[in-house]
Amino acid sequence: MEQTPFTALVGCSVPIQLAAMGGVSTPKLAAAVSNAGALGMVNLSVVGGGDIAKVFDDLAERTTRPVGANFLMPFLDLSAVELAAERCRLVEFFYGDPQRSLVDRVHAAGALAAWQVGSPEEARSAADAGCDLVIAQGAEAGGHVRGSIGMLPLLAGALDIVDVPVIAAGGIGDGRTMAAALAAGAAGVRIGTRFVAAEESPAHPKYVDALIASGPGDTTLTTAFSVMWPNAPHRVLSSCIDALAGFEGVSVGDGIVAGSPFAIPPGSVIPPDIHTTGAIEAMPLYAGQSVGAVRRRQPAHQIIEELVAGADACLGSVTSRHAG
Supply the DSSP string of 248-303, one letter for each residue: -SS-SEEEEETTEEEEEPTTBSPPPBTT-EE-GGGS--B--TTGGG--S-B-HHHH
**Can you tell me the distance from the alpha carbon of 33 to that of 14, in angstroms, rounded to the nearest whole number?**
10
**Can you tell me the distance from the alpha carbon of 87 to that of 118, in angstroms, rounded to the nearest whole number?**
28
Residue 3's pLDDT band (cuts 50, 70, 90): very high
Dihedrals phi, psi of 221, to nearest 5 degrees = -90, 125
* Class level of CATH domain 5-200+296-323: alpha beta
Q: pLDDT tens digits, residue range 118-151? A: 999 999 999 999 999 999 999 999 999 999 999 9
Residue 317's pLDDT band (cuts 50, 70, 90): low
Q: Considering the chain, what percentage of its residues have pLDDT values greater than 70?
A: 97
Q: pLDDT tens digits, residue range 159-209? A: 999 999 999 999 999 999 999 999 999 999 999 999 999 999 999 999 999
Residue 316's pLDDT band (cuts 50, 70, 90): confident
Q: pLDDT tens digits, residue range 244-261? A: 999 999 999 999 887 788
- pLDDT at residue 323 greater than cutoff 60: no
Q: Domain spans of the chain? A: 5-200+296-323, 205-282
